[in-house]
Amino acid sequence: MTIRAGDLRIDYSKQMIDEGGIARLLDLADARDVTSAFARMGKGERINFTEGRAVGHMALRTPRGEHFLIDGVDVVPAVWSVLDQMANLAQAIRLGEFVGSTGQQIRHVVNIGIGGSDLGPAMVYEALRGNRSPDISCRFVSNVDPADLEANLAGLNPAETLFIVASKTFTTVETLANARAAREWLVSQLDEAAVENHFVALSTNAEAVREFGIDTKNMFAFWDWVGGRFSVPSAIGLSVMIAVGPEVFFEFLGGMHMMDIHAFQASGRANAPLMLALINIWNTAALKTSSRAVIPYSFDLRRFPAYLQQLVMESNGKSTRSDGTRVPYATSPVIWGEPGTNGQHAFMQLLHQGTDVVPIDFIGFARSSADDASRNELLFTNLLAQSRALAFGRNIDEIPNSPARSHRVFEGNRPSTTIVAPELSAAVLGQLIALYEHSTFFEGVIWDINSFDQWGVELGKELALTIGSTLADFSTHDHPELDSSTHTLLSWFIEHRQNNIQ
Ligand code: F6P
């Protein structure tokens, strides 16, 4: 019950499954023809059937000179042309050749984006801490709460700051509002002409980029066949590339590509993302678990659970099958997590002795990015202790007689998978991300849902606009379109809000 894929070793022997269960899951995978489904994605077919789009994130890490066809066109040359454009800027910034409007070197990069235009690069930037240039720091602003931008601009010199406005659509209100505020901050301290040297855009929408006031020569393109949550290997990774340099970024892409090949070629039980998917399906279907924790024993991977929340939950938090009917089974569980060992002193109590069973993915490394073998031993042995305690528990006979005896019983049989690698290199990180991307894909195929749309976020966006538009004439007009709870909360907000609204 261990699979090796690239540098990863995936041990699922502490899951609550036996050989019979595995055989049935593999039959299920065959019945759903997961291999052909993966091949259809690899051939650039429009498998995102509700939006009529191809799903081409694997093209983003296809080596130069190889091919990936979408609608009959090889997109690899276009992918590499953008990667080269990114590498040129990244190198120029790192060498001090690209400077701000006053001639000062760029020392700070502020990525403004949300969802896939934030979580991927923010997570990878933290994860590759050991590879980063000490001369350039990146900050990530996503929340429309003005406190986010304010906190991240604190201490920055505008003359040394590059803003990256990252938005696939370039219509996302939070990102555009923050980008406008950042622009005002810059212009108020430098001048209007400085925008050209201090703003670049990452987007599929050249027209909107131009409209915002960023020259499209400072735009890094990607395409509608790249889903936001799959976009970190695209232009969306620019901040990371500036921080770690093109070479390390290409190693990261190489790791992803390695896992793409593995997912395509490894059959049945040897296929790591497929087995991860099947075990997750077993846990939701057979054990009826409704959440899954991902606990990296790695400080550098601390943003990985947040990244996975979007990848998995925005992809597979669906309940409509391809034929339009409602699924009669559970789909994605809630994904959550925090790094170990911190979690041990917070939520692990419930995972050991609570009434809910929560399957866990533990992730650990033999070597830390920081140079202290003894604390790293402590870290890794704690990971093993947790998974062992969860699996085997402790029964009452092993506990000395005392009034608290029954409280100290651990039932055991709490499932976990342990994913390990020698160290968190760029290639290993790429492998890990692609492992989860493909397991998410396989889950979606088996559940017969579309993992690549996100209609579930649309209603909230629409209602935010409707509710926002009532603010201007709220006290002078009736608003029968609002339910009474929303109406009351809005009047409370108007009464208490900051009074600096124009
Ligand atoms: O939350 C919905 C969503 O559309 C995500 O899928 C996406 O990653 C995010 O918004 C940001 O979108 P954009 O990159 O277009 O600004």
DSSP 207-226: HHHHHHT--GGGEEE--TTS
**Mean pLDDT (whole number) for 62-70:** 97
Instruction: Using the mean position of ligand 1's atoms as its centre, give its distance from the Cα of residue 45 in Å.
Output: 22
Residue 333 resides in a domain: yes
Instruction: Using the mean position of ligand 1's atoms as its centre, give its distance from the Cα of residue 389 in Å.
Output: 39
Alpha-carbon span 366 to 7, nearest angstrom: 12
> Has residue 502 got a pLDDT over 60?
no
Percent of the chain with pLDDT over 70: 99
Instruction: Using the mean position of ligand 1's atoms as its centre, give its distance from the Cα of residue 414 in Å.
Output: 35
Residue 251 resides in a domain: no
Shared domain for 386 and 484, answered yes or no, is no
pLDDT score, position 476: 86
Shared domain for 19 and 104, answered yes or no, is no
CB of 338 closer than 8 Å to CB of 295:
yes
Cis check: omega of the bond before 341, within 30 degrees of 0: yes
Instruction: Using the mean position of ligand 1's atoms as its centre, give its distance from the Cα of residue 260 in Å.
Output: 24
- 474 pLDDT band (50/70/90 cuts)? confident
3-state secondary structure of 427: helix
Alpha-carbon span 211 to 140, nearest angstrom: 23
pLDDT score, position 151: 98
Look up 461 and say whether it is catalytic.
yes
pLDDT score, position 371: 83
Ligand 1 pocket by C-beta < 6 Å: which residues?
114-117, 167-169, 172, 175, 228-229, 314, 454, 457
Number of domains in the chain: 3
Domain boundary among the residues 181, 213, 244 is at 244
Residue 462 resides in a domain: no
Q: Considering only CA atoms, which of 101, 160, 152, 110 is closest in space to residue 135?
A: 160
pLDDT score, position 373: 87
DSSP 21: H
Give per-residue pLDDT as tens, 196-211. 999 999 999 999 999 9
Helix axes 426-447, 272-285, angle to 10 degrees: 50
**Mean pLDDT (whole number) for 345-359:** 97
Give the CATH number for residue 296: 3.40.50.10490
Residue 254 resides in a domain: no
**Mean pLDDT (whole number) for 233-244:** 98
Q: Which atom of ligand 1 is nearest to the CA of 169?
A: 15
Q: Which atom of ligand 1 is nearest to the CA of 175?
A: 16
pLDDT score, position 278: 98
Q: Which burial class, exposed, middle or buried, applies to 269 when counting CB atoms under 10 A from its CB (0-12, 13-18, 19+)?
A: middle
* Residue with CA closest to ligand 1 atom 2: 457
Shared domain for 226 and 270, answered yes or no, is no
Shared domain for 169 and 115, answered yes or no, is yes
Give per-residue pLDDT as tens, 13-54. 999 999 999 999 999 999 999 999 999 999 999 999 999 999
CB of 278 closer than 8 Å to CB of 267:
no
Look up 318 and say whether it is catalytic.
no
Residue 256 resides in a domain: no
* Residue with CA closest to ligand 1 atom 6: 228
Shared domain for 81 and 212, answered yes or no, is yes
- β-bridge pairing 69-70 and 73-74: antiparallel
pLDDT score, position 475: 83
> Please, what is the average pLDDT of the chain?
96
Domain that holds residue 483: 470-501
Shared domain for 286 and 406, answered yes or no, is yes
Shared domain for 128 and 179, answered yes or no, is yes
- 473 pLDDT band (50/70/90 cuts)? confident
DSSP 401: S
**Mean pLDDT (whole number) for 187-200:** 96
Percent of the chain with pLDDT over 90: 94
- 501 pLDDT band (50/70/90 cuts)? low
Shared domain for 217 and 324, answered yes or no, is no
Instruction: Using the mean position of ligand 1's atoms as its centre, give its distance from the Cα of residue 250 in Å.
Output: 25
Distances (CA, A) of 317 to 127, 230, 284, 335, 446: 26, 16, 13, 10, 14
Given 126, 174, 314, 443, the catalytic residue:
314
Given 217, 345, 407, 496, the catalytic residue:
345
Q: What angle do CA 370, 371, 375 make, to 5 degrees?
A: 85
pLDDT score, position 472: 84
Alpha-carbon span 52 to 467, nearest angstrom: 31
Q: Which atom of ligand 1 is nearest to the CA of 116?
A: 8
Pocket test for ligand 1, best of 175, 457, 459, 462 (most atoms within 8 A of CB): 457
pLDDT score, position 179: 98
Distances (CA, A) of 176 to 164, 171, 181: 12, 7, 9
Pocket test for ligand 1, best of 168, 230, 315, 440 (most atoms within 8 A of CB): 168
Alpha helices in 95-227 (DSSP H): 119-127, 146-153, 173-189, 195-198, 206-212
> Has residue 448 got a pLDDT over 80?
yes
Given 43, 67, 288, 461, the catalytic residue:
461
Q: Kindly report the length of the chain.
A: 502
Q: Which atom of ligand 1 is nearest to the CA of 454?
A: 6
- 248 pLDDT band (50/70/90 cuts)? very high
Shared domain for 315 and 395, answered yes or no, is yes
Shared domain for 345 and 302, answered yes or no, is yes
Give per-residue pLDDT as tens, 104-148. 999 999 999 999 999 999 999 999 999 999 999 999 999 999 999
Shared domain for 413 and 297, answered yes or no, is yes
Give residue for tokens 């009474």. 484
Residue 287 resides in a domain: yes
Residue 455 resides in a domain: no
Q: What angle do CA 209, 213, 216 make, to 5 degrees?
A: 50
Q: Which atom of ligand 1 is nearest to the CA of 174?
A: 16
Report pTM.
Answer: 0.96
Residue 271 resides in a domain: yes
- 500 pLDDT band (50/70/90 cuts)? low
